[in-house]
Homo-oligomer: A and B are copies of this chain.
Amino acid sequence: MTCTLGDLGLRFGCVVQGDPGVVIDGVGTLARAQRGQITFLANPRYRRLLADTRAAAVIMTPDDAEDFPAPALLTDNPYLIYARVAALLAPAMAQPGGVSPAAVVDPTAEVAADAWVGPGAVVEAGARIGPRTFIGPGSIIGQNARLEADCRLVARVVVCAGVRIGERVILHPGVVLGSDGFGIAQDGQAWVKVPQLGGLTIGSDVEIGANTTIDRGAIEDTVIGDGVKLDNQIQIGHNVRIGEHTVIAGCTGVSGSAVIGARCMIGGMVGIAGHLEICDDTVITGQTLVSHSLRKPGVYSSALPLDEARQWRRNSARFRQLDSLARKVKALGRAAGNDDGEQKDE
């Protein structure tokens, strides 16, 4: 698709800097965009690339555009406007409805006439597939699972029995929804499986990355709120509840029965212990261990920054003496007559 910079300004409500007649036919990066491509500047660390860009126009903030001599689309949120421009210029391929002859659909399943079921997919008894929903090749939809309209299961997704999924949900390859949670009860030296009888409810406008897994509840449902975005290789345990518009980066693990609020931003490889609560609007940086409830919004961290290994070993050996070090300092302070100051933070 092709349009002018002026068209984009009108459509997305942005001021145009420079010639509104510049023709735009695609997107590119600041470093490598070609004639006809529009790009964006959102991360300040790429500002140095502005001077040499050959892009036809740049989506940027008015402040960044001040000294920029070339065409631009001005907005306070360049990345958002870029997302919309890119979606406009590169629309998703239309997909005709229908069931592949190489799919296996149980006669008691209900598949909307304009839904699509790809080759190698299996739709089990009682499942319901909503209008325009795309069941990619190799996907498995378990008994009585239900997907609403306009979902896209890219390929090889597993939706276990009884899972309920809202509208416009995107599931990437390898996702597993509604697997049994890790419920085991100790019986002497051995462990007995606890039946996982709950379900899994996924809201609308949720996107879930490749090979992410979400367990069904033990008794009640695991619940993923509207607008939640999960990256790849995340593990969500049974009974977890995640509030709307929370986003979680890759490789993070959430243990069973944790309750995560709305609009949280959780970094990659974070470990969240079970049976705790994280309040709305909490930010957690990468590789943090969350071992207790967080009841106050804020930014939380626990991972140490790296160091050259030799220096690291020296410091981490000292870490094992930290309590005794603190006691020595206290004793020295007392000997030096600082008792009051000392007691303050013990």
Q: Which A residues lie at the B interface, using CB under 8 A?
A: 27-29, 32, 39, 43, 45, 77, 79-80, 82-84, 86-87, 90, 100, 102, 104, 118-120, 122, 124, 136-138, 140, 142, 154-156, 158, 160, 170, 172-174, 176, 179-180, 182-187, 189-195, 197, 205, 207, 209-211, 213, 215, 219-220, 227, 229, 231-233, 235, 237, 244-245, 247, 249-251, 253, 255, 262-263, 268-269, 271, 273, 275, 283-292, 298-326, 328-329, 331-333, 335-336, 338, 341-342, 345
Contacts and interface: CB of A to CB of B under 8 A. Distances in A.
A328 B328 contact: no
16 contacts: A77-B186, A79-B194, A83-B184, A102-B122, A122-B137, A154-B179, A155-B158, A174-B211, A184-B207, A233-B233, A237-B250, A250-B255, A269-B271, A304-B316, A304-B319, A318-B323
The complex is assembled from copies of this chain, and their number is: 3
Contacts of A229: 182, 184, 191
A176 B210 contact: yes
A328 B306 contact: no
A187 B287 contact: no
Contacts of A220: 29, 32
A318 B308 contact: no
A169 to B, nearest CB: 12
A251 B287 CA distance: 13
Contact of A191 (B158, B191, B247): B247
B320 A209 contact: no
Contact of A291 (B39, B251, B298, B306): B306
Contacts of A314: 322-323
A224 to B, nearest CB: 14
A316 B287 CA distance: 14
Nearest to A209: B182
Given A120-B138, A182-B249, A315-B322, 10 more contacts: A32-B220, A77-B186, A83-B193, A189-B245, A191-B229, A193-B207, A232-B237, A250-B253, A269-B271, A318-B322
